Chain A
Amino acid sequence: MNTYLRIVVLWPQIQFGPMTFVTTQLHDDQQFEVVYTGYFDLLVQIAVHKFRVPDSEAETLAHDVLISYLRKGNDVISLRSWLIGAICHASRHYWRLNGRTIGAEPDMALDRADPASMRILDSLPDQLAAREAMDCLNPRCREILHMRYFEGCTVIEIAERLGVKPKYAQKLISRCLRRAETLYGEKGKSQ
């Protein structure tokens, strides 16, 4: 190999370094617990709602992701990004092992990765609370959430009815859900 090439080739190799490190950001048991409890639910929600992984399996995957993070501390720039990436790959791997293809539903991609909304969605089946929450909203948001959660429209159908693009429709739904949560919470406190 000529010398120019040698130098060019070696540069990326030199920087591989050790593959993993123990976390340095966490210092005591309380902090370890905060990380675990803070992210566990998010990871389970992603596995369950985005990838339709069964609940108990999703919890195991979330646990494994969090445990494997412990040897990644110095490697990870954004903890949240790393954990979400890991749970997504873990969920796909789960279905690869269990022989199911993911992503058959056309609008699934539009519903993905908004765990905050997922959590709200979980509580909405309680019709009474949901209707109360709806009452706090402006008419447009009310209409959007009604279509989504009472009529059961898909994001694409809502987009068509509103005359907007599906991506924007998804954004509107998320925004209205957050608004409902905030206003409903405020209403509860004032009563």
Chain B
Amino acid sequence: MSDDEKLVPFDRGKREPDPARVAEFTATARKLQQEREGAAGVAARLLGATPYAEWPRLAEREELRNSGALDELSREVASRVDRVPLESLAIAELATKIADSLAADAYPVVVLAQIRAQAWKDRGLAFCYLARHSDALAAFDRAEQFLQPFGTLAHDRAIVRLARATTLQEANRYDESIALLAECKEIFEDHGDTRRQILCGIAEGTLLHRMSRFGEAREAYKAQLPTAEKVNDLIALASIHNNIGHSSTELGDWQTAEAHLNKAIAILTELGQPLRVAGSELARGRMFVRKGDIERGIEHLHSVREQYLTHNLVEEAGLCGLDIVEAHLARGASIEAEAFAWQIVREFTAARLNARAITALGYLSEAIGARKASAETVQNVRHFIRSLRKKPDAEFVATA
């Protein structure tokens, strides 16, 4: 016996994995990787080449019936959910149809549960953006049902619950939302998922903001800054600075608001995200108006409006224009306000936007002409136009 063999190694208690399990892991890894590579661009191409009404039939296409393609569909859902939530929902419905019909032995059961839960989570998110809150919550329930048997999927479950917490906020169920966010934050922390941990913090701040607890909201956002800086998550940093700017504006702390909005703008500019830059610039313009620096605010809002028009975002430009109308009314310049309101009507008409939005804008223009409009009237019209994204058939109710 050699000397080496006499030694009792300290790691002799080390467990060797079952070769069959290693083989299953390797085969699954290989399969998922191949599907991901094979699915690159497939979903976008098929969706682009197929009329919207025929999207459900894409569920039969073999090239979409795998994990990689479903991930692609998930990205399509996320990228459209804010701009065109109806399309987003249609894609999410397609994804759930495919995921639910995958063969039971197509993947290990854990992976299959993850795939199906992801599809249902996306569907819930799309419903949420369409203000169909009970449908969204039902979709999240379904997603959690898939994950429920697997203790190893706590992270996936937390992702679904984060989406649920957001929906609960939208449905004004704040207490339930805040409890869920706290739970999710802990799970993300346990898994070292700093990015989502920050998202939970931002969502908590948003919740407090919605409850008009602006000081606490600002503190919640500020608490996320060191972590976001540490992991150099620039998108999160920009988001946090932007939101601190909003809360500070509500608190009348103009200096802080401007400083943080400037930081958000600088980061987003560096990241090359012009539309988000415009969003923060819009907030800065409004801040100037609220501060009483109306001329500067109007000038600023005009430049933001130009940005939106450059990108052919007529609706966003129109909504920004309503801020200008409101600012004109605030300084008693009704003639300018009326002229500008009619200009927005013409732009909406030319762009063939929702006729109900045009009706609301026409009402506003006439009310200004009749010297019956106030800041509240403008806000009411703005709120209505925004609500049309979720409920395109909503009827405009005129208020003073």
Residue positions of A touching B, CB distance < 8 A: 1-23, 26-27, 29, 32-33, 36-37, 40-41, 44-45, 59, 61-68, 70-72, 75-78, 81-82, 85-94, 96-97, 119-120, 122-123, 126, 128-129, 181, 184-185, 188, 191
Q: Which residues of B contact A1 (CB under 8 A)?
A: 383, 386
Q: Which residues of B contact A9 (CB under 8 A)?
A: 169-170, 206, 210
23 A–B pairs (Cβ distance < 8 Å), ordered by A: A8-B247, A11-B239, A11-B243, A17-B78, A18-B71, A18-B118, A19-B156, A21-B71, A29-B30, A32-B25, A37-B22, A61-B151, A66-B25, A76-B191, A77-B193, A77-B195, A82-B193, A89-B155, A119-B13, A126-B8, A129-B7, A188-B4, A191-B3
Q: Check B32 against A23 for contact (C-beta < 8 Å).
A: yes
Chain B nearest CB from A104 CB (Å) reads 20
Q: Which residues of B contact A10 (CB under 8 A)?
A: 82
Kindly state whether residue B236 has any CB partner on chain A within 8 Å. yes
Q: Which of B10, B32, B108, B129 contacts A123 (CB 8 A)?
A: B10
Q: Which of B10, B125, B166, B231 contacts A184 (CB 8 A)?
A: B10
In the complex, residue of chain A having the shortest beta-carbon distance to the beta carbon of B199 = A12
Q: Which of A7, A15, A40, A181 contacts B199 (CB 8 A)?
A: A15
User: Considering the chains assembled together, what is the distance between the CA atoms of A72 and B246 in angstroms?
Assistant: 34
User: Considering the chains assembled together, what is the distance between the CA atoms of A32 and B279 in angstroms?
Assistant: 44
Q: Which residues of A contact B226 (CB under 8 A)?
A: none
Kindly state whether residue B388 has any CB partner on chain A within 8 Å. no
Kindly state whether residue B162 has any CB partner on chain A within 8 Å. yes
In the complex, residue of chain A having the shortest beta-carbon distance to the beta carbon of B240 = A11
Kindly state whether residue B255 has any CB partner on chain A within 8 Å. no
Q: Check A64 against B150 for contact (C-beta < 8 Å).
A: yes
Which of the 9-residue segments B109-117, B327-335, B391-399 touches chain A?
B109-117
Chain A nearest CB from B165 CB (Å) reads 10
Q: Check A90 against B117 for contact (C-beta < 8 Å).
A: no
User: Considering the chains assembled together, what is the distance between the CA atoms of A3 and B13 in angstroms?
Assistant: 62
User: Considering the chains assembled together, what is the distance between the CA atoms of A63 and B209 in angstroms?
Assistant: 43
Q: Which of B26, B75, B156, B170 contacts A17 (CB 8 A)?
A: B75
User: Considering the chains assembled together, what is the distance between the CA atoms of A14 and B75 in angstroms?
Assistant: 11
Q: Check A61 against B10 for contact (C-beta < 8 Å).
A: no
Kindly state whether residue B310 has any CB partner on chain A within 8 Å. no
In the complex, residue of chain A having the shortest beta-carbon distance to the beta carbon of B190 = A85
Kindly state whether residue B153 has any CB partner on chain A within 8 Å. yes
Q: Check B111 against A85 for contact (C-beta < 8 Å).
A: no
Q: Check A13 against B239 for contact (C-beta < 8 Å).
A: no
Kindly state whether residue B242 has any CB partner on chain A within 8 Å. yes
User: Considering the chains assembled together, what is the distance between the CA atoms of A73 and B238 in angstroms?
Assistant: 25
Chain B nearest CB from A17 CB (Å) reads 5
Known contacts A61-B152, A77-B193, A97-B151; is-contact A71 B203 (Cβ 8 Å): no
Q: Which residues of B contact A14 (CB under 8 A)?
A: 82
